[in-house]
Amino acid sequence: MNTVSSVQHLRDAVAQARRAGQRIALVPTMGNLHAGHVSLIEQARRSADFIVASIFVNPLQFGANEDLDSYPRTLAEDQDKLAAAGCNLLFTPTVSEMYPNGMHGQTRVLVPGVSEGLCGASRPGHFEGVATVVCKLFNMVQPDLAVFGEKDYQQLAVIRSMVRDLNLPIEIQGAPIVRAADGLALSSRNGYLDAAQRAAAPALYRSLQQLAERLRAGETEHAALIAEAQRAQQAAGFRPDYLEIREAFSLRPATPADRSLVLLTAAHLGSTRLIDNLSVTL
């Protein structure tokens, strides 16, 4: 696996693969990789010949009081994991390489509708930063396909909407959530949890599972069901941010008539904010 840090070297390597007739896949990440990220590379390998991963902790998607400075950076370990998974090229740009004219004057991509509410409400400007950096990466690599994890369900919806609205000729694939044996969704931020918090963390997913069971049993009072699930989160030590029942494809608030649902939640455990989701078909 080769590692490059400039856009020109990235484009040169991708152009060589394309001249060889290879199908190109892109897996954007912020590094500190775990088994969930590795699964994205493995899924990309099943659909493409030449796999490009990026590691870039994007300051444009972090709010003023978020963990940009403390976000874990583990490049050497990440390179080993990517190489073992079959990644061909790793792109590790600096902030100045991605935003040569600074972030203040950077053209930005705003995706209305699906970016609103949920994490979009809790983290103002976050999805604008995500859409902007992903759009830049798409233009730099010009992949045939890109793979994103379904754990960040709203992010995946934002990217799909951007690709559709801007007529980008890129296939977007979602990859299933990878979970620990106790059900906790794998996340780079799980490393912030102390031992007691880590033991309590699976309750977040259990609250979604219990809510899903009630919906499958035919209960339709969404507000009451959500309130009960959030009480369960609080009993486990969480400070709920949101828990919502949305229509799975549009992400609009679900109605009792909807059959394809997604349950989305975010909650703080100590100072760590965790997110999770669960799809439900009625």
In a domain, 180, yes or no: no
CATH of the domain at 267: 3.30.1300.10
Cα 123 from Cα 120, distance rounded (Å): 5
Task: Write out pLDDT tens, residues 264-278.
Answer: 999 999 999 999 999
CATH of the domain at 92: 3.40.50.620
152 and 192, same structural domain? no
Q: Annotated catalytic residue: which of 37, 104, 126, 222?
A: 37
99 and 217, same structural domain? no
Identify whether the C-beta of residue 30 lies closer than 8 Å to the C-beta of residue 40: no
Tokens 């994103």 -> residue: 148
Say what the pLDDT of residue 182 is: 98
Between the alpha carbon of residue 214 and those of residues 149, 218, 233, the distances in Å are 26, 7, 16
In a domain, 207, yes or no: yes
Say what the pLDDT of residue 64 is: 86
166 and 44, same structural domain? yes
Say what the pLDDT of residue 191 is: 94
132 and 12, same structural domain? yes
26 and 60, same structural domain? yes
In a domain, 181, yes or no: no
Domain count, the chain: 2
Identify whether the C-beta of residue 184 lies closer than 8 Å to the C-beta of residue 202: yes
Domain boundary among 152, 175, 198: 175
State the number of CA atoms in the 13 A half-sphere of 175 facing the CB: 24
In a domain, 183, yes or no: no
118 and 7, same structural domain? yes
Q: Which domain holds residue 144?
A: 2-175
User: Is 126 among the residues known to form the active site?
Assistant: no
> 157 CB contacts (<8 Å, ≥6 apart)?
114, 251
Say what the pLDDT of residue 65 is: 84
Domain boundary among 140, 175, 210: 175
| Cβ atoms < 10 Å from Cβ of 159 | 26
In a domain, 260, yes or no: yes
211 and 155, same structural domain? no
50 and 76, same structural domain? yes
Cα 109 from Cα 124, distance rounded (Å): 14
For 25, the token pair is: 């896949």
> 54 CB contacts (<8 Å, ≥6 apart)?
26, 27, 28, 29, 90, 91, 92, 93, 137
149 and 10, same structural domain? yes
Between the alpha carbon of residue 275 and those of residues 30, 45, 71, the distances in Å are 16, 27, 16
Residue ranges of E strands in 132-271: 145-149, 171-175, 239-247, 260-269
Degrees, nearest 5: CA angle 53-56-60: 135
**With a cut of 70, which residues of the chain have pLDDT below it?**
none
Domain boundary among 175, 198, 217: 175
Phi, psi of 31 (to 5 degrees): 80, -165
109 and 68, same structural domain? yes
In a domain, 259, yes or no: yes
In a domain, 83, yes or no: yes
- SS3 for 26? strand
Say what the pLDDT of residue 246 is: 98
50-55 and 239-247: which strand pairing?
unpaired
In a domain, 27, yes or no: yes
80 and 42, same structural domain? yes
90 and 57, same structural domain? yes
